[in-house]
Amino acid sequence: MSDSSLPPGPKGLPIVGSLFDYFRDMLGFLRKTAEQYGDIAYFKLGPREVYLLSHPDLIKDILVTNNRNFEKSRALKRSKIVLGDGLLTSEGDTHLRERRIIQPVFHHKRIKTYADVMTDFSSKIGVHWENGEVVDVHTEMMRLTLAIVVKTLFGTEIRSDADDIGKCLTTIVSHFPRMLFPFSEYLDKLPIPSTRKFYDALETLDRIVYELIEERRKSKEDKDDLLSMLLSAQDEEGGEGLTNLQVRDEAMTLFLAGQESTANSLVWTWYLISQHPEVEERLHDELNSVLGDRLPSIDDLKNLVYTRLVFTESLRLYPPAWTVVRRAIEDCPVDGYVVSPGSDIYMSQYVVHHDPRFYPEPFRFDPERWTQDQSSSLPQFAYFPFGGGPRRCIGESFAWMEGVMLIATIASRWKMHLVPGQNIAPRPLITIRPKYGMKMIMERR
């Protein structure tokens, strides 16, 4: 393909292309590239050819209209080391079969049964907090969402080795960006400390998950949790259930996604609320009106309108999945160009969610922009925190409910004030984490 047939984009350096610029500041690089070169831009990350699409219509073409022309990215294929052939990494007929089997796990009526678990655990998180105490909210939210996912997925209370589980998950998540590097599969074979630490963490999580699966298989007990449903699930077409390995792969996927995405979304929500007292005041007014002195229940969700707007806007500014990547299987026309097989297409939620064409003052935290009259004219893929198309996040309804319920429960009892002088910086891993944590001064309401 000649250079004249390529979209404009940063030239980069010989051999490595824009690899160093990208990994130095992934969010900034993608946003600046879109701003400078438009809705379709081209650059290279080492040997890989990359097309960055930044218009909702182009993104819809890839994720929905022509989704069969694309497969998962190299990074997700590499993530099979952790997730196996679970729903997130599988392709084609295998993916469709797994989605059919797992879909009942996330049926609306089933999800509603987990509301009490969410409220119960989030109401207890502040038991050890003192008025005026400084806490790292990131650490606290990770512990909270871990407890919830363990209860809803495995039907058990948090284990005595919960801190070890949390450390293992952090180690694994921190390893994911390295999977984007060219030839990273060879790096993972070297006996260097970071690689050994990664495989030790994976071995620990594997052992815990397999123990829980074996215990449940032997007991044959139905605890009405996600694990029981996975073990009893059958494909309606083939009548086959899941093997222990398949259950492990799905459980590990839900384990990581269920903790990581919600925890970090909540951290950024608390940060944004702490910086906007007018939003905090209106949030508290709604909680006082709807809840009074009691904890929220599933029946309150329809009345927690502003709470949901707050969470919606937080997911816009700090989307849990900050980019979606697809690899072209065959020649594919995109906006007047032809994307060749093997090329990567990047579609960044972070970039589109900060586009001033769709969001005036895009870096301003404004929950009001999500009222019906203001948001109804947005293109479909101007907002896609959970992806889109046939591979849209299967746990989206779970995540929405958990986010709103946890915000309502915690904010009804606590106010958070950001400790001054902190360096608040996003760190894009699987999700966008706060690079240096998030220390808050707790104030009891």
Residue 261 near residue 321, CB atoms below 8 Å: yes
Q: What is the model's pLDDT at position 381? A: 96
The radius of gyration computed from the CA coordinates of the chain, to the nearest angstrom, equals 22
The pLDDT score that the predictor gives to residue 141 is: 95
Tokens representing 22 are: 């990208």
Our CA dihedral for 20, 356, 286, 258, rounded to 10 degrees, sits at: -30
Task: State how far Cα 92 lies from the chain centre.
Answer: 22
Site of tokens 């979209």: 7
Question: What is the residue-level pLDDT of the chain in tens, covering all 445 positions?
Answer: 445 589 999 999 999 999 999 999 999 999 999 999 999 999 999 999 999 999 999 999 999 999 989 987 776 677 778 878 777 777 777 777 777 777 776 776 777 788 999 999 999 988 889 999 999 999 999 989 988 988 888 777 766 666 677 788 888 887 777 766 666 676 777 788 888 888 898 898 888 888 888 888 888 777 777 788 788 776 555 566 678 888 888 888 877 777 889 999 999 999 999 999 999 999 999 999 999 999 999 999 999 999 999 999 999 999 988 999 999 999 999 999 999 999 999 999 999 999 999 999 999 999 999 998 888 899 999 999 999 988 888 888 889 999 999 999 999 999 999 999 999 999 998 899 999 999 999 999 8
Q: Quote the Cα angle for 127-131-135, to 5°.
A: 75
Q: Is 142 helix (H, G, I), strand (E, B) or coil?
A: helix
Task: Give the model's pLDDT for residue 1.
Answer: 42
Q: Which two tokens stand for residue 191?
A: 């006996």
Distance CA 222, CA 225 (A): 8
Gap between the Cα atoms of 144 and 152, Å rounded: 12
Q: Please give the single-letter amino acid code of residue 400.
A: W
Distance, in Å, from the CA atom of 289 to the CA atom of 295, rounded to the nearest integer, reads 12
The pLDDT assigned to 194 comes to 82
Whole-number Å distance between alpha carbons of 422 and 440? 10
Q: Return the residue matching tokens 């986010």.
A: 403
The one-character DSSP state at 239 is -
Q: How many CA atoms lie within 13 A of 266 on its CB side?
A: 31
CB atoms within 10 A of CB 371: 12
Domain residue limits, the chain? 3-444
Query: What Cα–Cα distance (Å) separates residue 180 from each residue in 29, 46, 60, 345, 370?
Result: 15, 10, 24, 14, 34
Angle at the Cα of 257 from the Cα atoms of 259 and 273, rounded to 5 degrees: 55
Asked whether the whole model's pTM tops 0.75, one would answer: yes
Alpha helices in 127-183 (DSSP H): 137-154, 162-175
How confident is the model at residue 72, as a pLDDT?
78
208: helix, strand or coil: helix
Mind giving me the DSSP string for 334-363? ETTEEEPTT-EEEE-HHHHHT-TTTSSSTT
Return the pLDDT at 138: 95
Looking at the structure, give the CATH architecture of the domain made up of residues 3-444. Orthogonal Bundle (1.10)
Pairing of strands 70-72, 432-434: unpaired
